[in-house]
Amino acid sequence: QVQLVESGGGLVQAGGSLRLSCAASGRTGSTYAMGWFRQAPGKSREFVANINWSGASTYYATSVKGRFTITRDNAKNTVYLQMNSLKPEDTAVYYCASKAAYYSGSYDYWGQGTQVTVSS
């Protein structure tokens, strides 16, 4: 089992920044690939970004590319999402997730989510 705990959400004005953290514990061998997802009210959950074990491979949704940066610190078993130039449409509950392979498989473990609210 892997436990994922997100933190860092909050209320910020448009144009501001937030950094989300996701701390992993348990079978961290299942955290080779880590991803961030978000779900806005009344909408389906959508992919935001992911990263492989070394951090050399990352991928972003078009809507956040150039504004968000995903990184990880394996010594701390933590993945981060730096969010800059936030927009009201970024308002959502943000979830981190993990899976055992970067290019295949599904995300097996999910955190409980952290709320991000961007005011206009």
Average pLDDT of the residues in 103-113: 91
Average pLDDT of the residues in 31-53: 95
Q: What is the mean pLDDT of the chain?
A: 95
Which residues partner with 71 through β-bridges? Answer: 80
Q: For residue 28, is pLDDT > 80?
A: no
Alpha-carbon gap, residue 68 to 83, rounded angstroms? 4
Alpha-carbon gap, residue 103 to 120, rounded angstroms? 37
Q: For residue 102, is pLDDT > 90?
A: no
pLDDT at 75: 92
